[in-house]
A and B are shown apart, each in its own frame.
Chain A
């Protein structure tokens, strides 16, 4: 589903990614590891189409509407409630039975009771849960997850593990500093230097 050959990305004179080869087959679950600044986030942004490569080849066989992208930022409006945020994305992704789906996602990640609270009042962990709801809302086929356990407590991490197990048919590229948490699910690894 994702193929990269000698992929590189530079910001001015600074090399962020250089000569990366990557194969993520359909249904594959590949972990991307590496120290800070090694280009994990940049690789995910390239795969999401949010940035263009400086060199090499990148092929992602997934239309935009089938990509679930979890970024460092939760990508939710702080002045909108949890439900309003999901409703906005639900409209843009044209999700059938949108309201029911938004409610189900909030329940699944333990945010139902906070559905009418503004995202700006959420803790870091709650924001991450809301970001996960947004990521999975439209039933994506390709998951691009950047540090998915970031900020989650033990219960939140368990809910995410359950969600990933339930989505075993999804293809995933996951940047993480904690590969052990996803080792059982992983079909491949890419170590960036």
Chain B
């Protein structure tokens, strides 16, 4: 287990270092999510319901995540590096977990900016909303990283990733909006936790088959 953790740490550290050097992904995610919230602020009529406002936040989060996921395997794809990682004697699921940790970190950093911006433009944050966003990040990163790896192997990757990811993100939006403005947030938070667990296990177990023939 400690070897597995060491592999995951090395791979996640590599992704964070690459982003620190290249600054390809995070600035784009930050710019997108703040711009989207600003556009929604001016587009939404005054006196709109909290449900409508929160729904727009979740749309912004899902598309910001999609932006990050599009770049998740860009270094590996452009330089054929997945071969080098697949040949290494570490468990292939460690590649997925390391990448998922990196994607989660970028999402959390984007939301550290997005949530105060949402509070500024719309209404104050509730603990249920923050908890829902935290849970959604895990699920989005888990399934999104698997789908990004599938799409990276395809020539139509820019088209394929949204086609695969957006339908699977619908439950996240339902759970997120329900937990944020619904009458029974605990059940929706439970639903998001279940979503995380199911898709994390599914992605962890199937990643090997995605990166090998």
Query: Known contacts A79-B18, A80-B17; is A92 also within 8 Å of B213 by CB?
Result: no
Asked if A73 is at the interface of the complex by the 8 Å CB criterion, the answer is yes
B84 within 8 A of A: yes
**Nearest Cβ distance between residue A148 and chain B, in whole angstroms?**
16
Cβ contact within 8 Å between B83 and A50: yes
With A77-B18, A77-B75 as contacts: A91 and B83 at CB distance below 8 Å: no
In this complex, how many residues of chain A approach chain B with their Cβ under 8 Å: the count is 30
Inter-chain CA distance A51–B213, complex, in Å, is: 6
Is A52 a contact of B213 with CB atoms below 8 Å? yes
A65–B21 Cα distance when bound, in Å, is 30
A78 to B21, CA, bound (A): 10
Partner of A73, one of B3, B80, B90: B80
**Residue B44 interfacial (CB < 8 Å):** no
Asked if residues A94 and B89 are in contact (CB atoms below 8 Å), the reply is: yes
Distance in Å from the Cβ of B72 to the closest Cβ of chain A? 14
Inter-chain contacts of A48 with B (CB < 8 A): 83, 87
A118 to B148, CA, bound (A): 26
| Complex Cα gap A63–B87 (Å) | 10
Task: Pick out which of these stretches binds chain A: B6-14, B45-53, B63-71, B135-143.
Answer: B6-14
In whole angstroms, how far apart are the Cα atoms of A75 and B79 in the complex? 7
Contact A50 B87 (CB under 8 A): yes
Q: Is the CB of B88 within 8 A of A89?
A: yes
Question: A49-B212, A88-B14 in contact; A79/B3 too (CB < 8 A)?
Answer: no
CB neighbours of A84 from chain B (8 A): 17
Number of interface residues of B (CB under 8 A): 24
Choose one: A52, A71, A77, A88; the contact of B83 (CB below 8 Å): A71
Q: At the interface, is chain B mostly helix, strand, loop or mixed? A: helix
**A40, chain B: closest CB distance, angstroms:** 16
CB-based contact A92/B85 at 8 Å: yes
Q: Which residues of chain B are within 8 angstroms of A45 by Cβ–Cβ distance?
A: 83
Q: Mark A49-78, 1 if CB is under 8 A from B, else 0.
A: 111100000000001110101011111111
Q: Once the chains are docked, how many angstroms separate the CA of A76 from the CA of B80?
A: 9
Give the chain A neighbours of B11 by CB distance below 8 A: 92
**A90: nearest chain-B partner, CB-CB:** B10
B81 within 8 A of A: yes
Mask: chain B, 25-43; 1 = CB below 8 Å from A; 0 = not: 0000000000000000000
Residues of the B chain whose Cβ atoms lie less than 8 Å from the Cβ of A64: 87-89
Closest to B211 in A: A50
Contact across chains for B7 and A91 when beta carbons are under 8 A apart: yes
CA distance A152 to B53 in the complex (A): 60
Contact between chains at A75 and B81 (CB < 8 Å):
yes
Q: State which residues 117-160 of A face B: CB under 8 Å.
A: 118, 134
Are A77 and B81 closer than 8 Å at their CB atoms? yes
A69 pairs with B14, CB closer than 8 A: no
| A124 to B: closest C-beta gap in Å | 14
Whether A50 touches B86, Cβ cut-off 8 Å, given contacts A75-B81, A77-B81, A80-B17, is yes
Besides A80-B18, A88-B14, A92-B90, 5 other CB < 8 A contacts? A50-B87, A67-B87, A69-B84, A74-B79, A80-B17
Could you list 13 A-B pairs, sorted by A, with CB under 8 Å? A63-B89, A64-B88, A67-B87, A69-B87, A73-B79, A75-B81, A76-B79, A76-B81, A80-B18, A88-B10, A91-B7, A92-B7, A92-B90
Which residues on A are within 8 Å of B, measured CB to CB? 45, 48-52, 63-65, 67, 69, 71-80, 84, 88-89, 91-94, 118, 134
Question: Top 8 closest A-B pairs, CB basis?
Answer: A65-B89, A75-B84, A73-B80, A92-B88, A91-B10, A52-B213, A79-B21, A79-B18
